[in-house]
Amino acid sequence: MDVKRVAVLGAGNGGITAAADLKLRGFEVTLFDLPQFSRNIDLLKERGELLLKEADQTSRVKLDVLTTDIEEALAGADVVLLTIPATWVESFAEICAPIISEEQIIIFHGAACVAPLRFVKKAREMGIGTDFKIGELSTLAYGTRAFPERGEIELSLRVKEFYFSAYPGGRTDELIGVCRQLYDTAKPIDNIWGTTLTNGNPEVHPGSCIVNAGRIDYSQGEFWLYVEGITKHTMNVVIEVGRERLALGSALGYELEDGEKARFKRGYLMEGPEEMYVKYNTSPVFSKIKGPMSLESRYVTEDIANGLVLYSSLGKALGVPTPTTDAVITLGGVLLQRDFMKEGVTLEKLGLEGMSREGLIEAVSLTE
């Protein structure tokens, strides 16, 4: 497929940046968000154009379509790029699955969370039997912040390397060529366990936020996680969750990169002799990111419910201990008075409960 038109679903930081970037690179682009989240779409319509600021260069861009009508958004799209929070996978499946055709390619673009499996499962529950061509990237392709109220994007990083898998994994070779037309630094990985376990957000965000809970509450929005919240001691929580992630990957047949190496390769951290926490504090990308503003941030709620809960569930199935991951889930639930194990993504909710290691791999690897 020669990709000409892309529908970007989700008008947050990542979606607005993706839409502007892809338009500047010659694609026809539609940007969509749900009607209940129309504010950014409305603001962008008022502005008329976007300014994408990258290093010392500013580019002006006007998107082809801005809409809250899903049928208008998907009409004629070659690729549907879902740049949405992990918590909204099923909600977007409900509105997209009845409309998307077998010729259209669906790519989840953000923090990987076995989203393609969840999308297809929801579609099947709705009685939709479409043979979806679908996959996910392991992370957002940009380090970025968008400000729709002033029509500006501050793009600090184009991620240098990340992973893509189709669902089922047997279609990755078929779809990677389409993905690379949008993001040529994408590398194939066997299946969506690989993309999910190379998503760095659950490793870095929840634990470091929870041990800074008092400071986040007291700051009333004046908090910088990567500059002040990542310290010599809080880094230990990040490292331990990372070790458990690596052990899960090993149990599923992967030799995954640790968090430090992965972030070097993606471009977030600089190499050098400094301790890991100092690299975070001085990162030319991370140091520009303010927040989270509260403990209700996606850094905690989304990354526990859609990341760490799945790690814990996988650990139980594979016989891999996840004590630090479990502790972060428990403390997050106590702080926010929520039952993350009940509301989060588990093997049971994915329809994979009771499967062996081999069964878990086959479930995401074989064609339906």
Number of other residues whose CB lies within 10 A of the CB of residue 285: 19
Average pLDDT (89-96) is 97
Structure confidence at residue 271 (pLDDT)? 86
What's the rounded mean pLDDT across residues 339-349?
97
Q: What is the pLDDT of residues 175-228, one digit of tens each?
A: 999 999 999 999 999 999 999 999 999 999 999 999 999 999 999 999 999 999
Distance CA 183, CA 194 (A): 18
φ, ψ of residue 237 in degrees (nearest 5): -65, -45
CATH among 3.40.50.720, 3.30.70.1450, 3.40.1190.20, 1.10.1040.10 for 201-365: 1.10.1040.10
Mean pLDDT of 322-347: 98
- What are the sequence ranges of the domains in the chain? 5-197, 201-365
Task: Label residue 367 by pLDDT band (50, 70, 90).
Answer: low
Average pLDDT over residues 117-129: 98
What does the pLDDT average to over 97-117? 96
Number of C-beta neighbours around residue 290 at 10 A:
14
Superfamily of segment(s) 5-197: NAD(P)-binding Rossmann-like Domain (3.40.50.720)
Residue with tokens 């020669």: 2
* pLDDT at site 366: 77
Residue-wise pLDDT for 151-184, tens only, equals 999 999 999 999 999 999 999 999 999 999 999 9
pLDDT (tens digit per residue) in 246-289: 999 999 999 999 988 899 989 999 888 999 999 999 999 999 89
- Please, what is the angle between helix 309-318 and helix 357-365, to 10°? 130
Residues with Cβ within 8 Å of 162's Cβ and at least 6 positions away in sequence, in order, are: 137, 138, 139, 141, 183, 185, 186, 187, 198, 266
**pLDDT value of residue 112:** 94
Q: CA-CA distance, 347 to 22, in Å (whole number)?
A: 35
pLDDT of amino acid 32: 98
pLDDT at 42 over 70: yes
- 167 phi and psi, to 5 degrees? -125, 120
In tens, the pLDDT along 15-40 reads 999 999 999 999 999 999 999 999 99
Average pLDDT, the chain: 96
pTM of the full predicted structure?
A: 0.95
Q: Distance between CA 166 and CA 259 in Å, rounded?
A: 23
pLDDT beyond 80 at 368: no
Type of residue numbered 7: A
